[in-house]
Structure 1
Amino acid sequence: MSDLFEITYINPGVTSFTRSAGGMLQMETSGDLFAEITIRRTYPMSRPYEYLSVWTKDDKEIGIIRNIKELDDESREALVAELKLRYVIPAVTQIISIKAEPGLWTFQVKTDRGDLQLLMRNIHEHIQSIGVNRLIITDMEGKRCEIKDTESLDAASRKQLSKVI
C-alpha cells in the first residue's frame, strides 16, 4: 500500500508575513493568524526562494509558498530577512591553505564573516559542486561555507583549490 501525501499550497493573494511586536515572524492567511512561524527551504541551493515550507512553532507544516515573487513587497522582505537569518553560509573570499595530514584535511579560509578552519577526513565527501564554478564545503562538524565562483578567487586561492579538485 502506498502512502499519499497532499501538498497544501498557500494562496499568496490572501496571505501576508510580518514581524510581531516581539520580533517573531508571523503569517496571516484567510483571516487566520499563525504566530511564531518558521520558514524552511525545500530546495536550498537550486531554488532558494521557491517552494518554501511554512511551519508552526509546534513543528507542524502549514503549507508551501510556490514562489516568493507572488507575495506582496512587505511579505517578501520579511521572508528574505528570515531566510538570511536561518541560512547563514559564509562566502569564501580567499583560501589561505589546504593541507593533507594522515587521515585529515585542513582548509584555512577567509570568508565574508571572518576566518574559518574546516576539518575533513575524506575531502571528496565534503565538497559539493552546485552548478558551474560554485562549491559548498561542509566539514566534519557541520560547519559550511560557499565558494560562489571559483573563477573569481585570486590566483593563489585557485592554485590551492586545484590541489583537491
Structure 2
Amino acid sequence: MTTTFDLTRNPFGRLVLTTAAGEVHESVAPVRAFPVQAPDDGIALVSTDGKEVGWIDRIEDLPAAVGQLVREELEGREFMPEISRINSVTSFATPCTWSVATDRGDTEFVLRGEEDIRRLTVDTLLISDIHGIHYLIRDVRELDKHSKKILDRFL
C-alpha cells in the first residue's frame, strides 16, 4: 500500500522513509520499475544497501507533498532526454555523430553501433551513446519525415 509509510527530507536533503511499524530508513531512493512505459506506476523505495524497503503503486495516489518529494528525487536522479527531431548524422556508417533536438535542448552524441538503438515497443526506441547516456524516442510516428528517413537507415 502506498499510504502505509511517511516520507520526508532530512536536513541534508536525503529522503527518510518511516514505515507503519515505525522503522526508519535513511537515504532511500525511488527507482522506477517501468521508466518508459509507466513512469508514475510501480516505484520501489530502495535503501543505500540496495534493498527494497517500500513500494509505491502509483505516484498520483500519494498525498500531494509525498508525491512531490518522490517526483523531485526521480528528476534529480534520472537523465533521459526525449528526442523530438534528428537534425543530421555525420555518416550512415557507425560510429557516427547525431545532431538532435530533445526536450532538454539541442545536442550531439556519438552512436557506437546500430545495436545501441533498442526497440522497447513497436513505436518506442531507446538510443545509447558512447558515454552510456540514454535518449528516448517515445513515438517514432510523431517524428517528422526528415527524422524518420534518417532513423530508417539505422533500423
Please give the TM-score of this superposition, normalised by the length of structure 2: 0.81
Give the match's secondary structure for 1:89: coil
**Structure-1 separation of matches of 2:54 and 2:24:** 14
**Alpha-carbon shift at residue 103 of structure 1 (Å):** 4.7
Contact residue 104 and residue 119 of structure 1 kept, 8 A: yes
How much is the aligned-residue C-alpha RMSD, in angstroms?
A: 2.3
Query: How many residues were matched structurally?
Result: 154
Structure 2 unaligned residues grouped into runs of 5+: none
Alignment of 1:26-65 (within 5 A): 26-30=16-20, 31-65=22-56
Q: Residue 29 of structure 1 aligns to which amino acid in structure 2?
A: T
Match of 2:102 in 1: 111
**Alpha-carbon shift at residue 138 of structure 1 (Å):** 0.6
Alignment of 1:10-159 (within 5 A): 11-30=1-20, 31-100=22-91, 103-123=94-114, 125-159=115-149
Structure 1 unaligned residues grouped into runs of 5+: 1-10
**Alpha-carbon shift at residue 129 of structure 1 (Å):** 2.0
Q: Residue 73 of structure 1 aligns to which amino acid in structure 2?
A: A
Please give the TM-score of this superposition, normalised by the length of structure 1: 0.77
Contact residue 92 and residue 154 of structure 2 kept, 8 A: no
Contact residue 118 and residue 138 of structure 1 kept, 8 A: no
Cα-to-partner distance string for 1:93-137 (whole Å, 9 max, x where unaligned) = 2211123366523222122223322223321x1112233422211
Contact residue 16 and residue 72 of structure 1 kept, 8 A: no
